[in-house]
Structure 1
Amino acid sequence: ETVYLFGGWDGTQDLADFWAYSVKENQWTCISRDTEKESGPSARSCHKMCIDIQRRQIYTLGRYLDSSVRNSKSLKSDFYRYDIDTNTWMLLSEDTAADGGPKLVFDHQMCMDSEKHMIYTFGGRILTCNGSVDDSRASEPQFSGLFAFDCQCQTWKLLREDSCNAGPEDIQSRIGHCMLFHSKNRCLYVFGGQRSKTYLNDFFSYDVDSDHVDIISDGTKKDSGMVPMTGFTQRATIDPELNEIHVLSGLSKDKEKREENVRNSFWIYDIVRNSWSCVYKNDQAAKENPGKSLQEEEPCPRFAHQLVYDELHKVHYLFGGNPGKSCSPKMRLDDFWSLKLCRPSKEYLLRHCKYLIRKHRFEEKAQTDPLSALKYLQNDLYVTVDHSDPEETKEVVINSLCLIK
C-alpha cells in the first residue's frame, strides 16, 4: 500500500528526489533528496520505473538529455535497481546497449513479469549525438524495439526490432504509447502513441511465452467514437482479475490541438469481449454541476503525469503533470488524486429496473385512473424505491402530489 515517486522535471530542472506515499497513513515520506549521492540514479526525467512486488524491488531505465549536453559518455544507458527492504540502490549496468539491451531512450514503456522475473521494455526515442556523420539516419528519429531483461541472469534479449513492415509478427516502435502486462494470460498489451508526426491508433498484444503478436485492431476502422481518441495523452492501467484495461485520456502535447476539446475522459476495455466503453467525460459533469469548478471535482486535463493502480483495493492514483498553459510554459503540477470506480451491484440494477418500470406504469395509470394509480403507488412502486436516494424519494413525493391535485 505504497506509491513510489522518483525524479521528473519541475519546469526548470531534472530532479533526483525519491518519495514514498503511504496509503494507510495518507502521508508522504522523503526517502532521498538526491539518489545520486546514495549510489543511485542521477537527476532525470522521461525515465520509466517498474516494481517487482514479490521481491520488493524497483527498476528504472532511460532518461531525456538536452541536445547541448549529449556526448558519447552521457549517452550511455544506465540501469538501476532499488531494494525497498534494505533501502539501497544497485547499478545493474552502466550501458544497457553494450550489454545487448536498448540504447539510451526516453518516452518508452516498461513492464514487470514478477512470476518469471522478467522485464519488458518497448519503444521510446533513441537519443543520438547531434552532427553525427557516421549514421546516415542520424537526422531521422530512431525508435527502440521490444527487449526482455532476465532479472535472474541479468541478460538482455532483443525480441522485435523496430519495423515499418506490415508483416503479421512485425511491430512499429513509437513514443508516448501505453504498454501493460496481463499477469494471468501472460500478454503485453500495446496501443496508441506517436511516431514522428503520426499518431498511431493500432492495438496489439504480444504473448511473452509463445513470442506471438496478435493484432487486436489495426486502427483503420471508422469507429473512432467508440475508442479513445489519438493525439491525446493517455495513461493506462490493467486489472488482470477483472480482465480490464483502464485508460485516462487527457491533454494533447500538440499545441495546435490543445485548445480544442479539452477534457478528461475515462475508458474501460473489456479484454474478453474485445470492446471499449467510455464511462466518464468531464464535459458531461460540467453540464450536470455548473456551480462546481472542475478543480474541485477532478484533476484538470494534463500531460506528462503519472497514473498507477492498486489492484487489490481497485484504486487509481494520479500525480503531477503539465497543464499545457501557454501563458505559463514552465508550470508543473504537484497535485495528487485518487480515483475509485464505483460499479452498481446486480441487486441495485435489478431493483432500479423494477423501479423505472413501475414508475412508468404508475404514470400511465395516473392519466386514466387516479385511484388505481394511488393504490399502485402505495403497494407496488413504493417497495422499489431506494429511500436513501434523495432523487428517487423526491420523485415519489412529486408523483403523489400530482395525484392529489
Structure 2
Amino acid sequence: MQISNEEKALIVFGGKIISSNESPLPYSGMYYYYYEDHQWVPITVEQHNVELMPRVGHSFLYDPRDEHVYIFSGQNANEPMSDFFVYNILKKKVTWAIADVRVEGGPEISFTQRSTIDPFRREIFVFGMHTKKGKREASTENSFWVYFIDKKKWVELASRKSSGVDEPCPRFAHQFVLDTKNKIHYLFGGNAGTERLNDFWSLRFYKVQKEDVIKQALYFIRKQKFLEMSVDDKFGALRYLQACLAETLDQYDEEQLKDFRSLTSHLFNTSMDAERNKFIKIRSTVYETLLKFFPSSIKQPEENLLDLITEK
C-alpha cells in the first residue's frame, strides 16, 4: 500500500481475497482509496507490452517526485514472477514494463523480498531472496541489488547463502526500510526458514569515488614498478617506495597498509634472475586487476575463446 498526496488517495495492489469462496483463492487487483471522500474505486490498469498480473509477495514502491509506483516480482498461483512495471498514478497506466528482469541483468526469480526506494538518488534497493521449488524445497540468501531508475540498470551489491559474524543471516518476510535523509537502511526480523527472527540491523553504503578508483589503480601500477626496480636498483626502489608509492596509500585500508609494509622485504632478495622470470606473469595479473575498474563494454570478453570452439 502506498499513499499519493497528489491524487489524495491510498493505492493498493495485489493480495489474496481471503473472504472468497473460490478455490484457489483469487487475487486482488488495483484500488484507489480517496481519503477525503472515504471511497474505494477499483482501477482498470491501461496495459503496456506486458500484462500486469495480480500477485502476492511483491514489491510495491512509490516515488513522490514524479507520481510513479514500481511493481516487481511476487507470486501468482504458486508461480514466482520476475517481471517489472512502472505505473503512472495520475494517468492510471503502465508506462514501462519488462517480462523478465534477468534479461536486463537483474536478480533471480524470488518472492517476499523487501525493497526500498531513494527518490532523490533515483535508486531502488532489493534485499533478500527466497525461491521455492515444489512444496518443500526452498532457498534463501542474502541477495542485495540496486536498480538505477534513470539508467534502467541492475547491479548486484552482495549475494551470500550464509552470513558472517558482522552481518544478518539470510531471511525472508522481514521488515526493511530506508532513511532517505541519512541514507541508512534498517532491517528487522523475518523468517530464516528454521526459526523466526527478532534481530535488528542498520546498513549504510559508501560509494567509491572516482578519485579513490584512480588512487587504487596507481597503487597497483607503482607497486609493480617498485618490484621491478628492486631487482637492479635497490636504493632507487627504496626512494620510489617512500615517495611515489606511499602517496597512493589509503590510510584506512588495513589490508593495503599490510601489503605496503611487506614490500620492503623485496629489497633484500638476492635471487634476481628468479624475480625477473616472474615479471611477465605478474604484469598480466596487474593488467587483469586494472580491467576490473572498467565496464565490460570496453574491455576484452571474460570468456575463454577455447570454450567458443565447437567440435564438428
Q: Same fold (TM over 0.5)?
A: yes
Structural mapping, 1:91-240, within 5 Å: 110-130=1-21, 138-160=22-44, 168=49, 170-219=51-100, 222=103, 226-240=105-119
Q: Does 1:243 align with 2:122?
A: yes
In structure 1, the residue matched to 2:170 is: 301
**Distance (Å, rounded) in 2 between the aligned partners of 1:312 and 1:184:** 15
Shift of 1:322: 1.9
Q: Which has the higher contact order (CA 8 A, sep 6+)?
A: 2
**Distance (Å, rounded) in 1 between the aligned partners of 2:50 and 2:92:** 9
Shift of 1:369: 4.4
Matched residue of 1:250: which SS? strand
Shift of 1:269: 0.4
Match of 1:256 among 127, 130, 136: 136
In structure 1, the residue matched to 2:255 is: 391
Post-superposition Cα deviations, 1:85-106, rounded to whole Å, max 9, x if no partner, equal: xxxxxxxxxxxxxxxxxxxxxx
The runs of 4+ residues in structure 1 deviating greater than 6 Å are: none
CA distance 1:232–1:208, change in 2 (3 Å):
closer
**Distance (Å, rounded) in 2 between the aligned partners of 1:396 and 1:302:** 39
The amino acid across from 1:296 in the alignment is V
**Distance (Å, rounded) in 1 between the aligned partners of 2:50 and 2:97:** 13
The amino acid across from 2:65 in the alignment is K
Post-superposition Cα deviations, 1:266-305, rounded to whole Å, max 9, x if no partner, equal: 100011111111111235xx6xxxxxxx363222222222
Matched residue of 2:136: which SS? helix
In structure 1, the residue matched to 2:198 is: 334
**Distance (Å, rounded) in 1 between the aligned partners of 2:24 and 2:237:** 75
Shift of 1:220: 7.6
Shift of 1:248: 0.3
- Residue identity over aligned pairs, in percent, reads 35
**Distance (Å, rounded) in 2 between the aligned partners of 1:238 and 1:375:** 50
Match of 2:191 among 319, 322, 328: 322
Matched residue of 1:126: which SS? coil
**Distance (Å, rounded) in 2 between the aligned partners of 1:152 and 1:250:** 38
Q: TM-score by structure 2 length?
A: 0.77
Post-superposition Cα deviations, 1:178-237, rounded to whole Å, max 9, x if no partner, equal: 0101111221100001100211111010011222313332118656xx321113531100
Matched residue of 1:176: which SS? coil
CA distance 1:257–1:230, change in 2 (3 Å):
farther
**Distance (Å, rounded) in 2 between the aligned partners of 1:399 and 1:275:** 40
Residues 306 and 321 of structure 1 are in contact (CA less than 8 Å); yes or no, is this contact kept in structure 2?
Answer: yes
Residues 17 and 28 of structure 2 are in contact (CA less than 8 Å); yes or no, is this contact kept in structure 1?
Answer: yes
Cα-Cα RMSD? 2.5
**Distance (Å, rounded) in 2 between the aligned partners of 1:150 and 1:123:** 18
Count of residue pairs the alignment pairs up:
268
Post-superposition Cα deviations, 1:59-112, rounded to whole Å, max 9, x if no partner, equal: xxxxxxxxxxxxxxxxxxxxxxxxxxxxxxxxxxxxxxxxxxxxxxxxxxx112
The amino acid across from 1:374 in the alignment is L
Q: TM-score by structure 1 length?
A: 0.60
Residues 251 and 264 of structure 1 are in contact (CA less than 8 Å); yes or no, is this contact kept in structure 2?
Answer: no
Matched residue of 1:339: which SS? strand
Which of the two has greater helix per residue?
A: 2
Matched residue of 2:23: which SS? coil
Q: Which runs of 5+ in 1 are unaligned?
A: 1-109, 131-137, 287-293, 326-330
Residues 385 and 393 of structure 1 are in contact (CA less than 8 Å); yes or no, is this contact kept in structure 2?
Answer: yes
Q: Does 1:353 align with 2:234?
A: no
The amino acid across from 1:317 in the alignment is Y
- Higher mean Cα deviation, 370-379 or 265-274? 370-379
Shift of 1:381: 0.9
